[in-house]
Structure 1
Amino acid sequence: MKNIFLLLTLLVLTVRVNAQQNPVQQDSTKTETLDEVLVKAVRVNADSPITHSNLSKEQLAKRNLGQDIPTLINFLPSVVTTSDAGAGIGYSSIRVRGTDGTRVNVTINGMPYNDPESQGSFFVNLGDFASSTESLQLQRGVGTSTNGSGAFGASLNLLTDAFSEEASAEISNSFGSFSTRKHTVKLSTGLLNDHFEVSGRFSKLYSDGYVDRAFTDLKSYFLQGIYKDGNTLIKALTFGNEERTYQAWYGLTADELKENRRQNPYTYENETDNYWQDHYQLHWNERINNHWSTNIGLNYTKGKGYFEQYKSEESAEDFGNLIEEDSDVIVRRWLDNNFYVVNANVTYKKTGLEIISGISYSSYDGDHFGEIVWGSDLAENTGIRDHYYFGDASKHDFSAFSKVTIKFGEKWTGFSDLQVRLVGYKTNGLNSDRTPFVTDADFSFFNPKVGLTYKHSPFNSFYTSFAVANREPNRDDFEAGVTENESLNDIELGWRFHKNKVRVNSNLYYMFYHNQLVLTGELDDVGSPVRATSGKSYRLGLEVDANIQFTEKFGIAANAALSTNKNKNFSSSINGEVAELGNTNISFSPELVIGNSINFSPIENLNLALLSKYVGKQYMGNTDNEDSVLDAYFVNDFSINYLIKTEKIFKSITLSALANNIFNKKYVSNGYFGSYDYDDSGSQTGTTTGYFAGYYPQATANFLVGATFKF
């Protein structure tokens, strides 16, 4: 890894020298900034045959009062979000087109963010990150080739703050229900000597949570230094987060939900998750001339933390005989990992043609271990913090891609994207239940994508695309005995209409899978969803996204997604026999998802918005069992933003207010479902299958208010 870093640094320096020796004038027709080049390799433009949505810094800021990124993008098409603590702060997750968060590829400045082993994205480790986000793009479906874990339902890429020409300072504070409070300070030196800028953000965020004692305590930072010189942009940045949250992943039974929907079954005072994560990135963007540009990026992520748990009357064997039989015990289960990434891209562009080619290599190593921090009856010679299990893991991921966009005349544009990805994963040691866990697996994937756009008129365009994606199992899948990869073929057909104050995007999609890993509805012993291979399955849907500005003061942004999501010829063990169930609904895949925003500006600098979200009925399992149903829900939020421009002390003051769930709807957005068999002499098979379910209640009416002062 060290040699690779040195080699790429020398390559960048060589490019820089050549660029200095051959100065050229910048292309006056270019629309992208050097900042945007950071994500050019993983993003698509407005005319691409890839289904996508964009959000700018200004759009994010209107709702950025402390809630997590999944909650902030909740109103995008086909998006469903949920929060363990119920208030959108802490452990929040996202599903897109019914696919869970482990299959949504997330990148920050083109660097993979998904945890390589679990493949999940833990937004709790990105406290107040929206305050340092310049823009984001959500691609639905397979999307374009990206870095890290393959996109299997969507990809979300974030671009961090652009450099600032002028010095600035910003103080932002917000307060709200459940003792929620966010304090943010941002600073920028502006460009010094027209070349250098240093900027930073420091945030403190706390919330008690809607669920009893489900608090979230986050401390985060973002620091950035840039060098800018004509066609060169060098960025060195670091960001990180320290989180402490009280566990709320156990949910509630139906009876507990009816009794008191805010109760938390956990009673141990320190049943908490504690994790520290720091990221270091270096990016070198070089525009060599009007045709050639390069980007090289380096990343190192350090993560370490544990969750603490109280267990009563435990078996000595389960803890390596470090305790006596039936002893109570308090344990900490640790992760300690390192993640290195190198990306390199080169772009060639001239009239009617653009070629982007690149490589990405990542290396991950992680230790998993558990320690005993207290026991009511420890075994002789057992010491505090003795390990009762230990295992290590390593993962290597190499990918290379080439994307070509070419115009054929005035109306037709073709797109091709070819990616090769090589993955190796190894584990050795014991699981938390002290069973051996040894894995040595290698995968090689070829993921082609092709598309075509037809511009019928200046206002109308049509596109179609076909994409293939392959994805390896994650750590939990391997533990469950899954060793084969899953495959997806994605067909998209879309129409875009953009004229004056009316913008409409619509698309049909058909995603058909082989060995899709669907959520079973059950959870493992740390609250992670359990997945299983479903054989053949498909998702067929229609998405419509419209933005209509009726007047300068009044507009509507609405989207709807109608879909059918099916396992084909699904079978399951029921009452001691394998039952052939035919086509069944895929878990956590609502057939109808609607988002709507009605915006009104009665006076200059005042914006009022009513935001609505409808999510249809979902099954938490794959057998269409009525005990697994999550009822449909419809919630409404109301936001107010008022900008005050002043010449004294502050450049501006922005006052914001957000009332969530204004009609006080008692709803559940997520849950879990499972089954168990018991002996029953009265049944035909002698076995009867029983079912259980858990629910995560979301907050009823609540509010957040804030003020941002810019100097």
Structure 2
Amino acid sequence: MFKWIGAMAALCVLSVANLYAQGVLEGRIADKATGLALPGANVVVINASLMGASADAAGKFRSGGLKPGTYKLEASFIGYKSARAEVSVLADSKATVVEFLLDSEAFNLAAFEVHAVRAGAKTPVTYTNLSKTDLEKNNVGQDVPYLLQWTPSAVVTSDAGTGIGYTGIRIRGSDPSRINVTINGIPLNDAESQQVYWVDLPDFASSVHQLQIQRGVGTSTNGAGAFGATINLSTSNLETTPYAEISATAGAFNTQKGSVRFGTGLLKDKFTIEGRYSRIASDGYIDRASADLESYFLSGAWLGANSITKLNVFSGHEITYQAWDGVPADFINDPDLRTFNAGGTEKEGEPYENQVDNYRQTHTQLLHDHQLSANWKLAMALHYTKGSGYYEQYKADEGFEDYGLTPLLIGGDSVTTTDLVRQRWLDNDFYGTTYSLNYSTNNGQLTAILGGGYHVYEGRHFGEVIWARYASDSETGHRYYENDARKTDANLFGKVEKTWPGRWTTWLDLQVRRVNYSFLGISNQLENVDMKDNLVFFNPKAGILYELNANQSCYASFGVAHREPNRSDYTENPIGQRPKRERLLNTEIGWRASWQKAAVNLNFYHMHYDDQLALNGEINDASEYRRINIDQSYRAGVEISGGGSLFKWLNINGNLAISQNKIKQFTEYIDVYDSDFNWLEQRMVHHKNTDLAFSPGMVSGVEVAVFPLKNLKQEIEVALLSKYVGKQYMDNTSDDGNVLDPYFFSDLRVRWHLAPSFAKGITFTLLVPNVWNAMYETNGWSYRYLYNQTATVDRGYYPQAGRHVLLGASVQF
């Protein structure tokens, strides 16, 4: 692979000659009907190789290094018709100025489908938009969370320590199960655990056209309630011209990635076909934490007179060696032991080689967008997701009775335990529909959406013993547990956004959501019985925005969200000890400003929780640790983000979040053991005004990018990205001896984009994560107990890799 990259670099160097920069081109891209800026819109030079420039938050763009002469330009943005202009660039210091006013498309599937759950320019909620270009800069094979780690209040973690394999993201301290994720408006969160497993869709970022993160409750969406943030992903836009791209990555920990993308463009003015295939492999930083990942994305679209129908099929298959247990606290400061992996070590001798997670998930989406009239649009979608897989474990000295096996008599001795290998399976189906009816006045001053969805989840959980040292009376594939679950989720929402004379915009968003869950639970008599639960939630939201001037606006909003307990809360608790739903009351107050060369966002937030679910160490009547409802807790803080171009060769962007994350009071339960480690009882400890676990009081990030060379034929960018995450408690007791220490790290990114005559572009990316070689941990677990009357805390940590190198290359045709 390195030979291929080197050959391509040599070929590109030979194609670069006679480069000089004389003129400057700048301008603005806006909506023709409303005059509003279109951040992220693109402008390209027709018949020139370099892609051009992207509009900033004010819709403004600037490109230097142009030879004097006449150029044809094209401006484009998702959901809008492209526009062209011809301009003359002069050989002097005065910039050539051009303005593009784009008409909204009569129909555009990607734009409309996302619009139903996305926040607009005047929606009074807190959000961050990322374009395809933003994602591509750092995309050399790491999972989606690692591409989002530079956004405000985001903290990411990786079990393998490299960002490949099992990864997660917290936003404002909220864990992944509290972050609602949709793809084209369709829920991605697992219906039972409410988690998002990004490892199931490796390299999915390569098929994402736009991404929006809403922090807090946000706007109404489909799927599980947003209790910290919402992430909306929109897949590739409808491309009317043919394209192809080949990309590859190689680097540390035997990391390799290969990807191919293609698009036919518009065929006979009616059809398009687009696709992607990717393979990623890595040995991981943690011992044996390997990942073997595969994915594809295939999309076909048909254009009618007033409609678009699009079929998306995408799938991911992951085989990852388990590194879930973390590294013992005693090893974490030892350079040789901090990569220790307990996975597979219950087997004597060498660790069990097949201690893996093996899962495939395939998504099918049928999307239809119909322009009913000049003011009315209808979007509908059908979806089906099939998931199937298992995780395999070697277990030592397992009791026969736990697997429904009969004890053995060998030589007159009773054998009641055995070493065995088990697989725990999940085979599930998730299907349903989403819909939205959109109305907009001709001048765009009033928009209204009536939307919702209906989703069904059917999950089959079972475990099999595939090998045992003493098999008793079992057969190969002995099934030792089996249970099914069915969950339906229906919601209906209405949104109205009105801009009034005098620069005021009001917003109202009302949602009703109903959840029905059928499962195998535990009765108060501790017997397994079929059970049901039905929940109805009302989630109102409202806000107001005021435009101070053409460059500044301020907003305030208040929203309510509810969230149901997860599968474990239902299946592992008797009826009388089952937790209640959670409720969140969220207030957001913010200010946005953008100028020609800079933009700033400032917001204050308060998130008050009623009955937030959390572990407190308590054991229920079924001898399982249970999550309990904490009466009152809150998150409150300030976030500031912004950046600008100080010079044409220097860009600086950054963000800072400072917060308090508190529980007013709760009771902790601690296990008590005697000197022989026999469990005796649980003791209660009362706590007041403690910190919520894994909620740093400060999170900041900054990117400094220098462009030593930037013209029509090539561009070189050198960027240093730095992140600071403050101290995090690993439980809710505010114990200073049980924390994740604050950490700071930097990534170095060098990108070289070339525009030879034989291709649209060639890009080389050098990424050096953790360039200062910091030793830090991003996640952990702890278990607090009394041993022989001595307070003890066992801890495990998830260390991240030191300085390493990833080199990527891509060719676009």
The TM-score normalised by the length of structure 2 is 0.80
Matched, 1:656 2:765: yes
Q: Give the corresponding residue for 1:30.
A: 104
SS at match of 1:39: helix
Number of the residue aligned with 1:10: none
Aligned amino acid, residue 697 of structure 1: P
Q: Which of 249, 264, 271 is equivalent to 1:174? A: 249
Aligned partners of 2:446 and 2:468: how far apart in 1? Answer: 67
Structure 2 CA distance for aligned equivalents of residues 323 and 517 of structure 1? 40
Partner residue of 2:660? 564
Match among 266, 269, 290 for residue 374 of structure 2: 290
| 1:462-473 map, 5 Å | 462-473=554-565
CA contact (8 A) 2:754 2:762 kept: yes
Tell me the equivalent position of 2:11.
Answer: none
Aligned-pair distance for 1:660?
A: 0.3
**What is the CA deviation profile of residues 173-195 of structure 1, one whole-angstrom value per residue up to 9, with x for unaligned ones?**
01111000110011111100111
Is 1:383 equivalent to 2:470 in the alignment?
no
Distance 1:498 1:522, change over 3 A: farther
Code of the residue aligned with 1:674 in structure 2: it is Y
CA contact (8 A) 1:235 1:282 kept: yes
Matched, 1:673 2:757: no
Relative to 1, partners in 2 of residues 1:322 and 1:658: Cα closer, same or farther, differing over 3 Å? Answer: farther
| Residue of structure 1 equivalent to 2:545 | 453
Q: Secondary structure at the match of 1:94?
A: strand
Task: Give the aligned partner of residue 263 of structure 1.
Answer: 340
Q: Distance in 2 between matches of 1:580 and 1:87?
A: 39
1:346 corresponds to: 437
Q: Could you report, residue by residue, the CA deviation over 1:243-284 in whole angstroms, capped at 9, with x for unpaired residues?
A: 100000101111122341112112211110000110000000
| Alignment match, 1:645 | 755
Which of 582, 585, 592 is the matching residue for 1:496? 592
The alpha carbon displacement at 1:29 in A equals: 4.0
Q: Distance in 1 between matches of 2:381 and 2:781?
A: 40
Using the TM superposition, give the Cα deviation of residue 655 of structure 1 relative to its aligned residue in structure 2, in angstroms: 0.8
Tell me, yes or no, if the aligned pair for 1:570 and 1:580 is still in contact at 8 Å.
yes
Residue 362 of structure 1 corresponds to which residue in structure 2? 455
**2:617/2:669 contact within 8 Å kept:** no
Deviations along 1:35-79, whole A, 9 cap, x unmatched? 211111110112211100011111111111000000000000000
From the superposition, tell whether residues 107 and 549 of structure 1 become closer, same or farther in structure 2 (CA, over 3 Å). Answer: same
Distance in 1 of aligned mates of 2:140 and 2:529: 43
Aligned to 1:218: 293
* Residues in 2 aligned to 1:624 and 1:379: alpha-carbon distance in whole angstroms: 48
> Residue 411 of structure 1 aligns to which amino acid in structure 2?
R
Compute the displacement of 1:518 (Å): 3.3
2:133 is paired with a residue whose SS is helix
Identity of matched residues, %: 43
Note the 1:503-514 alignment, pairs <5 A.
503-514=599-610
Instruction: Decide which of 600, 604, 614 is 1:518's aligned counterpart.
Output: 614
Shift of 1:520: 5.6
- Separation (CA, whole Å) in 2 of partners of 1:629 and 1:469: 30
| Alignment partner of 1:278 is 2:362 | yes
* 1:641 counterpart SS class: strand
**Matched-pair contact (CA < 8 Å) for 1:521–1:672:** no
Q: Which amino acid aligns with 2:784?
A: S
Give the SS at the match of 2:709.
Answer: coil
Report the equivalent of 1:691. 793
Amino acid at match of 2:372: I
Correspondence 1:436 to 2:528: yes
Amino acid at match of 1:159: S
How far apart, in 2, do the equivalents of 1:56 and 1:600 lie? 20
Q: Is the 8 A contact 1:521 1:621 kept in 2?
A: no
Q: Does 1:416 align with 2:416?
A: no
d(CA) in 2 for partners of 1:545, 1:435 = 53
Q: CA deviation at 1:579?
A: 2.7
Tell me what 1:20 maps to. Answer: none
> Which deviates the most, 194-203 or 481-490?
481-490
Alignment partner, residue 14 of structure 2: none
Q: Which residue does the alignment assign to 2:428?
A: 337
Q: Is the CA contact 2:618–2:669 (under 8 Å) kept in the aligned structure 1?
A: no
Match of 1:546 among 635, 642, 646: 642
Render the CA deviation track for 1:280-329: whole Å, top value 9, x for unaligned.
Answer: 00000112222100100010000000000011111111111167511111
Structure-2 separation of matches of 1:295 and 1:104: 24
Amino acid at match of 2:746: N
Q: How big is the shift at 1:565? A: 0.3
Distance 1:303 1:29 in 2: 41
Q: Would the aligned equivalents of 1:389 and 1:430 in 2 still touch at CA under 8 Å?
A: no
Secondary structure of 1:535's counterpart equals: strand
| Correspondence list, 1:573-652, <5 A | 573=669, 577-604=683-710, 605-648=715-758, 650-652=759-761
- Does the CA contact (< 8 Å) of 2:586 and 2:608 recur in 1? yes
Asked if 1 retains the 8 angstrom alpha-carbon contact of 2:579 and 2:628, the reply is no
Partners of 2:609 and 2:558 in 1: CA distance: 14
Unaligned runs of 5+ in 1: 1-24, 681-687
Tell me which amino acid in the other structure corresponds to 1:698: Q
Alignment coverage as a number of residue pairs? 673
Distance in 1, matches of 2:427 and 2:323, equals 23
Q: How far off is 1:472 after superposition?
A: 0.2
Q: Could you say which residue in structure 1 is the equivalent of 2:170?
A: 95
RMSD: 2.2
For residue 410 of structure 1, report the CA deviation from its aligned partner: 3.5
- Is 1:301 the counterpart of 2:378? The answer is no
For residue 199 of structure 2, give the secondary structure of its aligned residue in structure 1: helix
Question: In the alignment, residue 360 of structure 1 is paired with which amino acid?
Answer: G
Distance across 1 between alignment mates of 2:436 and 2:493: 9
Give the aligned partner of residue 156 of structure 1. Answer: 231
1:683 matched residue in structure 2: none
Q: Secondary structure at the match of 1:601?
A: strand
Counterpart mapping for 1:6-25 below 5 A: none
Paired with 1:599 and 1:610, the residues of 2 have a C-alpha distance of: 7
Q: Which has the larger radius of gyration?
A: 2
Q: Conserved in 1, the CA contact under 8 Å of 2:616 and 2:667?
A: no
The CA distance in 1 between the partners of 2:807 and 2:527, in whole Å, is 50
Q: Whole-Å Cα distance in 1 between the matches of residues 522 and 615 of structure 2?
A: 25
Question: Deviation of residue 230 (structure 1)?
Answer: 4.9
Code of the residue aligned with 1:251 in structure 2: it is G
2:15 corresponds to which residue?
none
2:333 aligned counterpart, secondary structure: helix
Counterpart Cα distance in 2 of 1:77 and 1:466: 20
Structure 2: segments with no counterpart, 5+ residues: 1-80, 83-100, 344-350, 409-415, 673-681
Report the counterpart of residue 57 of structure 1 in structure 2: 132
Amino acid of the structure 1 residue aligned with 2:466: V
**Which secondary structure does the structure 2 equivalent of 1:330 belong to?**
strand
Aligned partner of 1:396: which letter?
Answer: T
| Residues 258 and 295 of structure 1, relative CA distance in 2, 3 Å threshold | same
* Aligned residue type for 2:367: H
Closer/same/farther in 2, CA of residues 422 and 99 from structure 1, 3 Å limit: same
Q: Is the CA contact 2:153–2:657 (under 8 Å) kept in the aligned structure 1?
A: yes
For residue 552 of structure 1, report the CA deviation from its aligned partner: 1.7
1: CA distance, partners of 2:504 / 2:277: 47
**What's the CA shift string for 1:419-439, capped at 9, x where partnerless?**
0000011112799xx983744
Under a length normalisation based on structure 1, what TM-score does the superposition of the two structures give? Answer: 0.92
Do 2:521 and 2:531's aligned partners in 1 also have CA atoms closer than 8 Å? no
Aligned counterparts of 1:313 and 1:571: Cα–Cα separation in 2: 35
Instruction: Give me the whole-angstrom Cα distance separating, in 2, the residues matched to 1:430 and 1:540.
Output: 38
Tell me, yes or no, if the aligned pair for 2:600 and 2:641 is still in contact at 8 Å.
yes
String of CA shifts for 1:189-227, please: whole Å, max 9, x gaps: 110011101111011100101101100111100000001
Per-residue CA deviation, residues 566-592 of structure 1 (Å, 9 max, x unaligned), is 001222235754332211000000000
- Whole-angstrom distance in 1 between the partners of 2:391 and 2:370: 44
